[in-house]
Structure 1
């Protein structure tokens, strides 16, 4: 009889869990589980209070679900990664663990931690096995002709879809059967009730794997057909709202693909991969492959080298106005207030707000990236970093021009009647719809004051400045010159 340990991290589920499946293959093996919280590391990496709270509640749910399988989930708090390695070694020694199973994490510090864990536990006689469970396909299998990672999404998508066509969509692992109870594990460290403090809206983000499963199923049945038409309109309830569950692994990417296929029985694989929603799942995959292949993305560095020659204008007054949703640009402010209130923001509005910070306020994208991460309930380094670098035009955006999103045009196009704006900016609820995108024009016309700030910048001037600076920096970089000389 062997003792198998499952080390849970950002994979708080039972269904389609590779490490759980492998640990439970033998009916005679004893199986236990462990979660090690690292508060100092979370703080260091700007993990939001909402995400931590959401994680703890789902950890409690996971603990209960595992008990139904007669698998005990042990909980320990180690402040940082170094302490977590020491505790893991102690735990394996104390419980005489033979095999450790876990899923890879791809951030730089986490990869270093896992490397040390495998090295030290192997010396201790423990067999350590990790799995690429957070990916649809291992990054080692999706390479270009030079055996390097793709930097352009369209080429990446072509390669990974070809691979999935040929090898079929990965199947999901079912939940293991209930195991024989182990009387030796009646006492264990559980998640402390002190951690149970709702810092997120549990009505919008209900807790538990069943809730995530139902949300995924309902989206695939009732919403996904209209997703391509409605996904850019923040006033509509048209998105899946699954990102918090994906971020801590309450559901998997494989499960998303599998559910889509189950609910769309007659869909061809060609139409399947052309689905706008599946495209978003592949974007998620793309950003993970980038994070793995370019460790500098975990170190506050841009994908392109010329970015470090930009002298960002980090105006703190402007940055604070952006954070608080008081820039005088309604669609930007509504988005930031949505983020501050819910810990979540509609994807189109994430693009608008991030683009505005970098391209119009000309503030370092890293400042925005950290602020998003410190507030998002679905904060994920790969996706957040990838999105910010895309918005800043220093990442994977393949267009030859500098993409600048005009907040006025975006507002008129995607929040036509100002429903989203009025929801999050109550000061503007009495402004007529035809003026909601430029409320100060109405204020001047009616000769009345509104409790809403004037625009903090001139959009046209900011656009010209950004285009000029970016063009100059890129040109100098190609010539091998130093812009500071």
Structure 2
């Protein structure tokens, strides 16, 4: 009989958890779990308080679910990864752990932590068993002809769809209830983790995440392509916070999708719009694994270092607070600040505006998003910001610059979303809601809303000049 420890990290679930499943293979082994809170480390990497609170409450939910399996989840709070290493060594020694099971994390600090853990625990006689459980396909399976990770989404998607067409990954079942349990443990009440977030949007727990996925696939998926970009509708899955913490897995998303649409051909499902978003997530993870410099906030292209950002602090503050004078930008940023979430279209519009209109370094926006998003995920957030800055994995041969006025008119035609988050514009007539100062000046109307802080077209030209000068081989 062995004593097995499951070290939970960003995989706080019991279904399709490869580490947990493998730890429980033998009925005679004793299995316990551990979660280590490293608040200072997370703060240093800009984890939002909403995400921290969401994490904390979902860890409590996980603890209760594991108890139903006669598995005790212990917990510990320390400052950073270095202290977590020391504690894990101590924990394994005190509890006489024979085998440590965990699922991989891919950011560079996490990878370095795990390398040290493996080296030190081997000296204590503890065996390490690690697994890929938070991505669809193991990274060694999706490589280009040079055995490297793909840099462009188009080629990555083509390869992974071909792979999935031949081999659909299966989810690991919930382990059977253990024969015995020695003691119990309860997570202490941590007041500082209890910040408010909208539990109607993001209910706590793996069960609720599964229900939300089922509801989305049953009732919303058919209109997903038509409505996903319109911020006033809630027609997206809203599952990103659960995926970022591993409360559900991407394999489970695919499993539910296949069950819900049994009569649809596999090729149609694999090329469906929502699964395309899951594949984008997969792509950014594989990119992070293949190119570790991304974890150091570096671009894949060295010429990006030659861009001279203006970094106007007043513009940056206006963008953060939703006071740029561009209603769709301001409404999006105020929704982010209030809820910790905005849809993907708004992320693209607001990030493009910061980088290509306000001429501010994309890294500043990346950090701000992470510090406010309830679904903050380094691989996805970094990949999205590099894409928005046109220095990342965008396959387009041209520079995409979102025009906020056009985007606003198309995706919030009647201004419903704008009025929801910018109540000061509630009396602006529909034809002027996207560019209110045109009407305000005509009517001599007094309003507590700023004029546009820049000339969009002028700054568009400035960005293109900056970009092409940096990219030019003669500079």
Task: Show the counterpart of 2:179.
Answer: 180
Q: Indicate if the aligned counterparts of 1:49 and 1:199 stay in contact, CA closer than 8 A.
A: no
Q: Indicate if the aligned counterparts of 2:49 and 2:193 stay in contact, CA closer than 8 A.
A: no
Task: Show the counterpart of 1:381.
Answer: 378
Task: Show the counterpart of 2:81.
Answer: 81
5+ residue gaps, structure 2: none
Task: Show the counterpart of 1:90.
Answer: 90
1:193 offset after TM fit, Å? 4.2
Distance in structure 1 (CA, Å) of the matches to 2:407 and 2:355: 16
Distance in structure 1 (CA, Å) of the matches to 2:188 and 2:6: 16
Instruction: Report SS of the residue matched to 1:101.
Output: strand
1:196 offset after TM fit, Å? 5.2
Distance in structure 1 (CA, Å) of the matches to 2:396 and 2:446: 42
Task: Show the counterpart of 2:267.
Answer: 270
1:124 offset after TM fit, Å? 1.1
Aligned with residue 471 of structure 2, among 470, 474, 477: 474
Instruction: Report SS of the residue matched to 1:100.
Output: strand
Report the RMSD for the aligned CA atoms in angstroms: 1.0
Listed as ranges, the matches of 1:316-331 within 5 Å are: 316-331=313-328
Q: Indicate if the aligned counterparts of 1:313 and 1:363 stay in contact, CA closer than 8 A.
A: yes
Cα deviations across residues 150-173 of structure 1 (Å, max 9, x unaligned)? Answer: 111010001111111122x11111
Aligned with residue 449 of structure 1, among 446, 450, 472: 446
Distance in structure 2 (CA, Å) of the matches to 1:447 and 1:40: 51
Task: Show the counterpart of 1:123.
Answer: 123
Task: Show the counterpart of 1:2.
Answer: 2
- For normalisation by structure 1, the TM-score amounts to 0.96
Distance in structure 1 (CA, Å) of the matches to 2:124 and 2:300: 39
* Range 464-473 or range 255-264, more displaced: 464-473
Cα deviations across residues 109-165 of structure 1 (Å, max 9, x unaligned)? Answer: 000001111111112111101111111111111111111111110100011111111
1:192 offset after TM fit, Å? 3.2
Q: Indicate if the aligned counterparts of 2:72 and 2:181 stay in contact, CA closer than 8 A.
A: no
1:199 offset after TM fit, Å? 2.6
Task: Show the counterpart of 2:72.
Answer: 72
1:189 offset after TM fit, Å? 5.9
Instruction: Report SS of the residue matched to 1:33.
Output: strand
Q: Indicate if the aligned counterparts of 1:100 and 1:128 stay in contact, CA closer than 8 A.
A: yes
Could you say if the C-alpha distance between residues 65 and 129 of structure 1 is closer, same or farther in structure 2, counting changes exceeding 3 Å?
same
Q: Does 1:24 align with 2:24?
A: yes
Q: Indicate if the aligned counterparts of 1:47 and 1:374 stay in contact, CA closer than 8 A.
A: yes
* Range 367-376 or range 201-210, more displaced: 201-210
- For normalisation by structure 2, the TM-score amounts to 0.98
Cα deviations across residues 325-378 of structure 1 (Å, max 9, x unaligned)? Answer: 000000000000000000111110000000000000000000000000000000
Task: Show the counterpart of 1:146.
Answer: 146
Task: Show the counterpart of 2:295.
Answer: 298
1:40 offset after TM fit, Å? 1.1
Distance in structure 2 (CA, Å) of the matches to 1:43 and 1:253: 26
Distance in structure 2 (CA, Å) of the matches to 1:385 and 1:56: 24
Q: Does 1:419 align with 2:416?
A: yes
1:191 offset after TM fit, Å? 3.9
Distance in structure 2 (CA, Å) of the matches to 1:96 and 1:473: 57
Instruction: Report SS of the residue matched to 1:90.
Output: helix
1:23 offset after TM fit, Å? 0.7
